[in-house]
C-alpha cells in the first residue's frame, strides 16, 4: 500500500540554524501539505501546495518557512532560522479529498 514517508524521523538543531524536512508524498497525489503539532497542542495546518505553488497557508507560515518540490518525488519544508518555539512534530500529508499523513519528523530546537 502506498504511503507518505518523511526524513529524518528526529532532528536536533541549534537556534538560528536552518533545517530542511523532507517528504515523499504518495506518487499519484497532486496536493501536498505540512502540518505541525507542538507538544500538548492540536495539530495545526501550515501550508498546502498544488501545481508547484502554494495554494493556501496559515498565519504560522511566515517568511521563515518555505516549501519546495525540487524534483518529481520530494516535497520539502525549510525553516530558515529556527526558533525555540519551532520545536514540534512536523507532519507531511498528501491527497485531496482524503489526506494521508507521514510518520512525522520530531524537531527539537535548542
Q: Site residues (CB under 8 A) for other proteins?
A: 4, 6, 31, 33, 35, 41-45, 48, 55-56, 58, 91, 93, 96-104
Q: Which is nearer to other proteins, 11 or 103 (CB)?
A: 103
DSSP 40-89: TS-EEEEEEEETTEEEEE-TT--TTEEEE--SSS-EEEEESS--GGG-EE
Instruction: Report in angstroms how near the CB of residue 106 gets to other proteins at its nearest.
Output: 9
Instruction: Report in angstroms how near the CB of residue 72 gets to other proteins at its nearest.
Output: 21
Q: Measured on CA atoms in the order 43, 45, 46, 51, is the torsion positive or negative?
A: positive
Instruction: Report in angstroms how near the CB of residue 78 gets to other proteins at its nearest.
Output: 20
Q: Which is nearer to other proteins, 14 or 40 (CB)?
A: 40
Q: Give the CA distances from residue 32 to residues 12, 21, 90, in Å, rounded to whole numbers and listed in that order.
A: 25, 14, 13
Instruction: Report in angstroms how near the CB of residue 23 gets to other proteins at its nearest.
Output: 11
The total number of residues shown for the chain amounts to 110
Q: Which is nearer to other proteins, 14 or 41 (CB)?
A: 41
**Which residue do the cell numbers 489526506 mark?**
99
Q: Which is nearer to other proteins, 14 or 53 (CB)?
A: 53
Amino acid at each position: 500500500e502506498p504511503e507518505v514517508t518523511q526524513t529524518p524521523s528526529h532532528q536536533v538543531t541549534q537556534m538560528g540554524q536552518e533545517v530542511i524536512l523532507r517528504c515523499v508524498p504518495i506518487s499519484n497525489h497532486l496536493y501536498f501539505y505540512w502540518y505541525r503539532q507542538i507538544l500538548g497542542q492540536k495539530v495545526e495546518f501550515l501550508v498546502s501546495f498544488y501545481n508547484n505553488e502554494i495554494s493556501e497557508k496559515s498565519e504560522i507560515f511566515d517568511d521563515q518557512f518555505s516549501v519546495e518540490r525540487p524534483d518529481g518525488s520530494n516535497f520539502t519544508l525549510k525553516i530558515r532560522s529556527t526558533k525555540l518555539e519551532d520545536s514540534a512534530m512536523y507532519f507531511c500529508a498528501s491527497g485531496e479529498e482524503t489526506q494521508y499523513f507521514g510518520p512525522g519528523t520530531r524537531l527539537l530546537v535548542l
